[in-house]
Structure 1
């Protein structure tokens, strides 16, 4: 596949790097330093120029491209790039990255409005991930598949956990949940029956949401498992606003703190079920007064990341039950973890995952990365040609070139827990874990 990535900042360069191994990638940017950086790390062709100009698009090979990604820092330029690319070649699939929610809302209601095949909004994706994590309090990362029927959750194994140092086959997993991978900062491995669960390592579980939640309580029985009801959002930017809006849709009444008075008034008008507080979220006296210690979840969605770290640590020290922080710079995530922050969400990673989902093999419904992109969890629909269909799984898996684990199967709306004797069928949606280095080969084979 021929891919043209226009705008190679952090998101664009990451996408180019991820696609370059298996596709012909051309990177376009006005900044020569960015292009030098991309060439130094990735095997791509580069072209210097303004991607919003027709001649630049023609010279960069857009008329013969299979996929064009507009990933500049300007929403209008990205929309213009994609609509122009479609005019140059009707069969080209276009993806526009946008920050302005209004563009995303208009496109969602009227797909023909901008002549763009896919719009990706970082703020909306980030808010959606925050709300998903809020639904599983003991997990540090959560993704839903199959329209919410299946959940993937990442847990840290506590030192005092009753399963610490046990083998997987010894912990008597209930039906409805599979353990698929265990990893730390250095390595990741597929779970087998004899795999030991070491304290401090992270564990990936896939299954029915209720069963995965029960497993989380078994992993850390001292954790206070309850429904998240009292949510405090620090920061009324677009991510904070979108998070509050999604929580309202789930019947919650969050509180939101915004320091700018005009913005606070606007938010109060647009969020009828959210209590908007005009104050400084970095003020410990204010946080104490607002009862952070009695809050189920604090969402820190400020900018820059340094302010988020401050408010997150303050909230933790003041007794917040769980703290989730938005981290824009991925290099800071280990610092947040060492500071005791439960969960971090990276907007750039959310965008990258959404874009890459549309570049994978036919049938891929969703993809998410885990463990510093060491592994992938993918939802795939099986067709008639799949070697996994029609044969017991333990035999069918021999036809796939690399190891993988199927965590759950969705068939006609029901969730099945696969075992070796399970026979998969055409139309089944399988949620599987695979090593990122061999993911493309596995997906092509399936």
Structure 2
């Protein structure tokens, strides 16, 4: 059983993702939220404070395998995890915003009653910078200690692979075409499958070949070392994004309206410049900040980020990126041509699914807003993959599964049909979410 504390956007979406395959109970102090949630999806709802041991007992904490604390209060999430540990022995996951709290938890080698701590701003910052530096990518994640990337690209009409079959497009040595996302369907491509303009393709492979593919299909080149990056929003999220860019050699500019936060940023960042401007008022926003920008990143609220991206496009800014909190409007952002759209809940969902799947996958990444996942698994003797060729293994598993890369002895192996999978191989695989739980258990 999975127990979720907090029926906000994150808790609600996690519950929606898991309810078809797991017994889910959700706790929140707001009876209206609980009533709305239990009427929409098949979950048990408890009205109460998730830090309270009696409330946890009412929610059958002794049956819980996993407890996810996802309220808006970091302290409340830590307290809920502690209370859960006192009442049972679940795997506890706390969502926090305070990076200092996360570092304290890391220094304690876990502790605080929390088994997994997810700092949402750090995860979002890593995702947006990682995706931006790979030109044309809509989503990116790394696996096998940085040896393998999985990336999603939209195929434009003039892309060299548009109109080609998979067999014709398969000229990037270590890259596997794992899936085609077309309209609302997930297609597992065959050699004669034709890649159409407007498709989104998921490719998995070595970093250099993924970069070559990106350079070929991207509508604009990768960022240069001297390109101008403007980050709008200087709270913890904006700071983390700026820090990520600084670590990669850029000196971004941050626009922030709070003079105290401007001073704080000036002392915390080394190479970035800080501009004080009213970022919440688009009409009063200083357009000169965008005059020479090559990339604008919106790290404020959803409405401001959307308007900012449109303003940047009108001023011919080459690339735009935005962090979007509301799951209901992610597709609006994507449909209007914003180059990189990061939805933090997708990242959190992947981390939580890693715990839900148990000791099998070492890494789980969510693609296409939880319609698909990429799993990293070290094959053991109990796996159905062991001793089988990729072709035979595919016949024993549900449709919607593709091995994109194999790491053996620290070396990347090409995952072709006659390759025999051995115990100890590290496999990176694309799976349709509908069969992900079943496949995770089998492999």
- Mark yes or no: TM-score above 0.5: yes
Q: Is the 8 A contact 2:135 2:215 kept in 1?
A: no
Residue 138 (str. 1) matches residue 136 (str. 2): yes
Residue 213 (str. 1) matches residue 211 (str. 2): yes
In 2, Cα distance between the equivalents of 1:132 and 1:382?
28
Corresponding residue for residue 49 of structure 1: 48
- Runs of 4+ aligned residues of structure 1 deviating over 6 Å after TM superposition are none
Q: Is the 8 A contact 2:4 2:68 kept in 1?
A: yes
Corresponding residue for residue 432 of structure 1: 429
2:379 is matched with which residue: 377, 382, 388? 382
Pairwise CA distance, 1:284: 8.0
1:108 is matched with which residue: 106, 109, 116? 106
Residue 355 (str. 1) matches residue 352 (str. 2): yes
Corresponding residue for residue 238 of structure 2: 240
> Alpha carbons of 1:349 and 1:403: their partners in 2 closer, same or farther (altered >3 Å)?
closer
- Unpaired runs of 5+ in structure 1? none
1:251 is matched with which residue: 226, 233, 249? 249
SS class of match (1:96): strand
Pairwise CA distance, 1:337: 2.6
In 2, Cα distance between the equivalents of 1:18 and 1:309?
26
Corresponding residue for residue 75 of structure 1: 74
Pairwise CA distance, 1:99: 1.9
In 1, Cα distance between the equivalents of 2:264 and 2:8?
32
> Alpha carbons of 1:219 and 1:249: their partners in 2 closer, same or farther (altered >3 Å)?
closer
> For residues 192-227 of structure 1, what are the alpha-carbon distances to aligned partners after superposition, in whole Å with 9 as ceiling and x for unaligned?
11111111111111111210111122224x632454
Corresponding residue for residue 406 of structure 1: 403
Corresponding residue for residue 25 of structure 1: 24
In 1, Cα distance between the equivalents of 2:300 and 2:182?
28
> Alpha carbons of 1:259 and 1:173: their partners in 2 closer, same or farther (altered >3 Å)?
same
In 1, Cα distance between the equivalents of 2:348 and 2:369?
15
> For residues 127-185 of structure 1, what are the alpha-carbon distances to aligned partners after superposition, in whole Å with 9 as ceiling and x for unaligned?
11011112202212111112221111111111122322221112242211111111134
In 2, Cα distance between the equivalents of 1:412 and 1:253?
38
SS class of match (2:137): coil
Pairwise CA distance, 1:345: 0.7
In 2, Cα distance between the equivalents of 1:93 and 1:286?
46
Pairwise CA distance, 1:321: 1.9
Pairwise CA distance, 1:107: 0.9
TM-score of the two chains, using structure 2 as the length reference: 0.94
Q: Is the 8 A contact 2:174 2:205 kept in 1?
A: yes
In 1, Cα distance between the equivalents of 2:371 and 2:407?
25
> For residues 297-338 of structure 1, what are the alpha-carbon distances to aligned partners after superposition, in whole Å with 9 as ceiling and x for unaligned?
2211112x1111111111122122211111111222222233
2:362 is matched with which residue: 361, 365, 368? 365
TM-score of the two chains, using structure 1 as the length reference: 0.93
In 1, Cα distance between the equivalents of 2:206 and 2:239?
29
> For residues 92-125 of structure 1, what are the alpha-carbon distances to aligned partners after superposition, in whole Å with 9 as ceiling and x for unaligned?
2111111222211211222354121111121111
> Alpha carbons of 1:252 and 1:12: their partners in 2 closer, same or farther (altered >3 Å)?
same
Pairwise CA distance, 1:62: 1.2
Corresponding residue for residue 96 of structure 1: 94
- After TM superposition, the structure 1 stretch with the greater mean CA deviation from structure 2, 190-199 or 225-234, is 225-234
1:127 is matched with which residue: 125, 128, 137? 125
SS class of match (1:198): coil
> For residues 247-303 of structure 1, what are the alpha-carbon distances to aligned partners after superposition, in whole Å with 9 as ceiling and x for unaligned?
22233322211111110000110112221222234668976534x454342211112
In 1, Cα distance between the equivalents of 2:112 and 2:132?
34
Corresponding residue for residue 61 of structure 2: 62
Pairwise CA distance, 1:361: 4.1
In 1, Cα distance between the equivalents of 2:8 and 2:398?
35
Pairwise CA distance, 1:412: 3.0
Corresponding residue for residue 12 of structure 2: 13
Q: Please tell me the root mean square deviation across aligned C-alpha atoms, in Å.
A: 2.0
